[in-house]
Amino acid sequence: MAINWYPGHMHKAKKEIREVIPKMDLIIEVLDARLPFSSENPMVASLRRDTPCIKILNKSDLADPVVTQQWVDHINRTSGMKAIAVNLKQPDKIRSILDMAPAMVPERNLDVSQLKAIILGIPNVGKSTTINILASRTVAKTGNEPAVTKQQQRIKLPNNIVLLDTPGFLWPKLAPEDCGYRLAISGAIKNTVIEFEDVAMYLAEFLMQHYPDALQQRYQLREIPQTGIELFDLIGQRRGCMRRGGIADTHKVSEILINEFRDGQLGRITLETPEMIENQLKAMEAAKAAIEAGKAKK
Ligand code: G4P
């Protein structure tokens, strides 16, 4: 899927993060619980070394609770990492990370008992909402857009924690390719730079395979059709957005499907499981190895 990135700004933000992470006692990363792998900043894995890390799986109210638990268990198996699933209606649970944090940091790292933490999160995961809850006040938002980019800011929190907030640039985690689609579905990538109908078709096919009951209930379908195109036609008929000739208005149907997913009207849905990601990464490695083997033969 073609996406229009802003490489200039990403370069600057990457440089800042690369410089700052080694000075931190703790990394707090806000993820979208519906796509905990795709919404990660890939630099965290490469830069964190043994810095403790709390992964906040936010928007848990929109995610499949069974899969969220799988992700929490999966992340907790990584040394020095703790996962917590939360949503904005659980401020006390979000604030519990202020008690969790000091216990994760070795005492020798605490410079005059101040704990330096950085908070990261791609756009729209709920980073600002989380910061406001942690600080118990409204903190100015760091910008995601070139024109409104505000610089890093330091926020004093209880328990002598100082939180460094950075602009929430989106990183090109587009491998495996499915990550790009999931980011687009979630709203992390602006609608104007994605192939909207292509993204909606990906969502339609995913739901047909993994959440057919949710589709049947929402669109009152007697049965799940064979193809995404047939599903578009059925949704078009149900919602009165058909063109002449009995063909669905694909843009309108795409909007319905994507918006109703984002608002949780289709139910609690997660777009990726740890097992799915493992298989997709393996397939990607196998494809890479096959290309290398092909090159070596020539
Ligand atoms: P960001 O800083 O990471 O870009 O995200 P921000 O906190 O601005 O949140 C982005 C959107 O996600 C907001 O909705 C916010 O209300 C919503 N949100 C944040 N946390 C949760 C959550 O746990 N559950 C649900 N369901 N939504 C959450 P918005 O429509 O953009 O703004 P608004 O309607 O809140 O003004």
Number of domains in the chain: 2
Domain boundary among 137, 165, 193: 165
In this prediction, residue 88 carries a pLDDT of 95
Using the atom order of ligand 1, give the atom closest to the CA of residue 123.
4
pLDDT reading at 147 higher than 60:
no
pLDDT reading at 224 higher than 90:
yes
pLDDT digits (tens, 9 = 90+) for 240-269: 999 988 889 999 999 999 999 999 999 999
Verify that 126 and 23 share a domain, yes or no. Answer: yes
pLDDT digits (tens, 9 = 90+) for 111-138: 557 899 999 998 889 999 999 999 999 9
Verify that 134 and 62 share a domain, yes or no. Answer: yes
Verify that 227 and 153 share a domain, yes or no. Answer: no
Verify that 160 and 185 share a domain, yes or no. Answer: no
Q: Among 33-37, 49-53, 166-170, where is mean pLDDT lowest?
A: 166-170
Mutate to test the pocket of ligand 1, among 88, 129, 133, 134 (most ligand atoms within 8 A of CB): 129
Query: Could you tell me which residue, 140 or 88, shows the higher pLDDT?
Result: 88
Mean pLDDT of 7-26: 80
Query: Could you tell me which residue, 54 or 283, shows the higher pLDDT?
Result: 54
- The domain that holds 221 is classified in CATH as 1.10.1580.10
Verify that 159 and 211 share a domain, yes or no. Answer: no
Query: Closest Cα to atom 18, ligand 1: which residue?
Result: 126
- What's the pTM value of the predicted model, to 2 decimals? 0.91
Verify that 16 and 145 share a domain, yes or no. Answer: yes
For residue 193, tell me if it sits in a domain. Answer: yes
Q: Is 58 in the pocket of ligand 1 (CB under 6 A)?
A: yes
Verify that 41 and 144 share a domain, yes or no. Answer: yes
- Retrieve residue 35's tokens: 């796509």
Verify that 25 and 155 share a domain, yes or no. Answer: yes
Verify that 224 and 258 share a domain, yes or no. Answer: yes
Query: Could you tell me which residue, 91 or 144, shows the higher pLDDT?
Result: 91
In this prediction, residue 111 carries a pLDDT of 58
Verify that 261 and 148 share a domain, yes or no. Answer: no
For residue 294, tell me if it sits in a domain. Answer: no
Query: Closest Cα to atom 24, ligand 1: which residue?
Result: 59
For residue 207, tell me if it sits in a domain. Answer: yes
Verify that 111 and 225 share a domain, yes or no. Answer: no
Domain of 48?
Answer: 8-165
Verify that 232 and 133 share a domain, yes or no. Answer: no
pLDDT reading at 63 higher than 80:
yes
CA 126 / ligand 1 centre spacing (Å): 5
pLDDT reading at 172 higher than 70:
no
